[in-house]
Amino acid sequence: MTTPRRPLPAWWNPLAANSAKVRADQISRFTPPREGGRESAVLILLGEELDGAAAPDVLLLERAHTLRNHAGQPAFPGGMTDPGDGGPVGTALREAKEEVGLDPATAEVVTVMPALWLPPSNFVVTPVLGWWHSPHPVAAGDPAEVARVERVPVAELSDPANRLRVRHPSGHIGPAFAVRSMLVWGFTAGLLSAVLDLAGWSRPWNRARVTDLPLPHTPE
């Protein structure tokens, strides 16, 4: 039985409109090469009514601390494209189902953002924006890969007290969020920052608040 889709809430309108026309170079300084790259996708899944509040939240996971790469790092559900995925939307939904147990019938893809590039891993990552119209309990699919799953209210992400920048050992300084006992940084934080801007949710915050990236870490 198919879950009836709820209409998009009004808060989706600016985000959907602006995300559909944003350019890759407006989100990241790393745009995909003309050839090559390892195709992958992430799902930026936005729902509401977390704890009874009709306000947006976003689904994040924390990778297992025993992983060889990106250990303990918060991220969106996602991963490399498989031949049968049929494109980034299929990849994003499949990975979300495997990693956190998302029922794809409870989510609707609103728009696909331009692909971005992660030079160290040569991943070409397509962000897929989804509306979680019928939220249900989710949890780590494999504890060896995912340590926990969190629905983080957008209000916490946009709170100036939770925003900062982190300095990577390479010297690069990028956006970060300190929420739910997690330090969200790197590619995920850059995307979250872009989503806040595109939706009109950003609030003035202290960009001079810079801290060194804690170790251990895996470079992005």
Concatenating the DSSP letter of every residue in 127-166 gives: EEEEEESS------S-TTTEEEEEEEEHHHHH-GGGEEEE
Task: In whole angstroms, give the CA distance from residue 161 to residue 220.
Answer: 25
Number of neighbouring beta carbons within 10 Å of residue 84: 8
Report helix, strand or coil for 203. coil
Number of neighbouring beta carbons within 10 Å of residue 181: 8
Q: H or E element: which one contains 125?
A: strand 123-132
The domain locations on the chain are: 12-153
pTM for the full predicted model: 0.93
Domain 12-153 sits in which CATH superfamily? Nucleoside Triphosphate Pyrophosphohydrolase (3.90.79.10)
Q: pLDDT truncated to tens, each residue of the chain (220 aa)?
A: 344 567 899 999 999 999 999 999 999 988 998 888 899 999 999 999 887 778 999 999 999 866 666 667 899 999 999 999 999 999 999 999 999 999 999 999 999 999 999 988 899 999 999 999 999 999 998 888 899 999 999 999 999 999 999 998 888 899 999 999 999 999 999 999 999 999 999 999 999 999 998 865 444 4
